[in-house]
Amino acid sequence: MRLYGAIQKVEPQDDGTVRVHGIASSEVVDDQGEIVRAEAMRAAMPDYMRFPALREMHQLSAAGTTLEAKVGDDGATRIVAHVVDPIAITKVRNQVYRGFSIGGPVFSLGEDDYIVQESSVGINLGVTPGGPALRSGAMPITGGFTDDPLHVVRSTPADANNMIEVECLDRQNNYNTAVAEAFDQGSIDVYGVRRDTSTKARLITDPLYVGSMVAQLLLQRQLLYRNTYTFKLGWKYILLEPMDLVQITDSRLGVSALTVRITAVEEDDEGMLSISAEDFFGAYSPTVLYPPGNYSPSASPSILGLGGG
């Protein structure tokens, strides 16, 4: 969520800084069809004023401090801010920066799809109307709500299986059943052997390379993919589906633009999407291309290796 309001007055100060007056939010629809109700701003403002950083262009750098913020009877949120950053002051004086905005993830929507609650709000300087949605613009605050916008569940390594078996077929041995195995000796030394029932993958007919790679990938998922992320999004993100990659940011958890992979999407009766995601390691996810040293291939010759044609 990100909405825009114009700067109305600039007051130069004796020390070279400036005070700016303007509207940060009002109950009008922007060009993205979003609107924030006055009651949502009233609920979020007390917590924001605990850490009233005025951030620049929805970035982490602070350009100054919000001195006053009040939601009027007309639904507009008027602020007075003190800008101290020299570059930001120059941009304000030369009307490069012409407005304020508020930013933060949407907590819930009303029946008319207007924002009635926010999990956080931040006031930002120098933005343009109609910016992209769902990027936090200030320090995370609760705005009076008890639920956090992002939940993380981290499993313990002691519960992870450290030995994986994949039951497949061996085309070099008349397609008899073979077992490809992968294990992590370091985990076994610490926690002992932990294994589950073998995974049946009868479509695999090469236990030496393909079977062992699949077993290793399953092992890596057991040992490394320990975080599960859950968060909620509005109806605008209905096109998200499992396997999509998104980035999440939460300074309380120490994550910034962390890439995660969506594993599940559920929609409730109010149109809110409950998203579950897992870690995404990118190029660090694949396994090796050579077979493990503990696997002994069958001594029977391959059919494709006889006759030369």
Domain check: are 86 and 198 in the same one?
A: no
Instruction: Please say which residue of 123, 147, 171 terminates a domain.
Output: 147
Domain check: are 211 and 232 in the same one?
A: no
Contact 174, 286 (CB under 8 A): no
Residue 79 lies in a domain: yes
pLDDT of residue 303: 40
Domain check: are 7 and 117 in the same one?
A: yes
Question: pLDDT at residue 4 above 50?
Answer: no
Domain housing 21: 2-147
Question: pLDDT at residue 298 above 80?
Answer: no
pLDDT of residue 1: 41
Q: Write out pLDDT tens, residues 209-258.
A: 888 889 988 998 888 888 999 988 888 888 999 999 998 888 777 788 88
**What value does the mean pLDDT take over residues 53-65?**
76
CA 237, CA 2: separation in Å to the nearest integer? 15
**What value does the mean pLDDT take over residues 119-137?**
41
Residue 152 lies in a domain: no
* Mean pLDDT for the chain overall: 75
299 strand-pairing partners: none
Task: Please tell me what DSSP assigns to residue 132.
Answer: P
* Band of residue 205 on the pLDDT scale cut at 50, 70, 90: very high
Domain check: are 250 and 217 in the same one?
A: no
pLDDT of residue 32: 52
Scanning the structure block, which residue is given the tokens 């001594």?
A: 299
Q: Tell me the chain's radius of gyration from C-alpha atoms.
A: 28
Domain check: are 212 and 280 in the same one?
A: no
Task: Provide CB contacts within 8 A for 101, sequence distance 6+.
Answer: 2, 3, 4, 5, 24, 58, 123, 124, 127, 131, 137
Percent of the chain at pLDDT > 90 equals 18
pLDDT of residue 34: 60
pTM: 0.46
First CA to last CA distance, the chain:
65
Residue 275 lies in a domain: yes
Token pair listed for 34: 């979003």
Instruction: Please say which residue of 147, 176, 191 terminates a domain.
Output: 147
Domain check: are 137 and 6 in the same one?
A: yes
168 strand-pairing partners: 178
Domain check: are 143 and 239 in the same one?
A: no
Domain check: are 214 and 233 in the same one?
A: no
Domain tally for the chain? 3
Residue 306 lies in a domain: no
Residue 42 lies in a domain: yes
* Band of residue 112 on the pLDDT scale cut at 50, 70, 90: very low
Token pair listed for 215: 């077993």
Domain check: are 167 and 236 in the same one?
A: no
Question: Lowest-pLDDT range, 81-90, 106-115, 250-259?
Answer: 106-115
Question: pLDDT at residue 150 above 90?
Answer: no
Residue 299 lies in a domain: no
Scanning the structure block, which residue is given the tokens 């294990």?
A: 183
Burial 11-21 (b: 16+ CB within 10 A, else e): eeeeeebbbbb
Domain check: are 116 and 11 in the same one?
A: yes
Residue 302 lies in a domain: no
Domain check: are 6 and 32 in the same one?
A: yes
Residue 292 lies in a domain: no
Beta strands, E only, the chain: 2-12, 18-25, 53-56, 62-71, 77-83, 99-103, 106-109, 115-118, 122-125, 150-154, 163-170, 176-183, 199-200, 227-233, 245-250, 255-267, 273-279
* Band of residue 117 on the pLDDT scale cut at 50, 70, 90: very low
Instruction: Please say which residue of 174, 207, 225 terminates a domain.
Output: 225
Domain check: are 9 and 101 in the same one?
A: yes
- Return the higher-pLDDT residue of 244 and 57: 244
Q: Write out pLDDT tens, residues 258-294.
A: 889 999 999 887 778 899 999 988 766 677 666 555 5
* Band of residue 60 on the pLDDT scale cut at 50, 70, 90: low
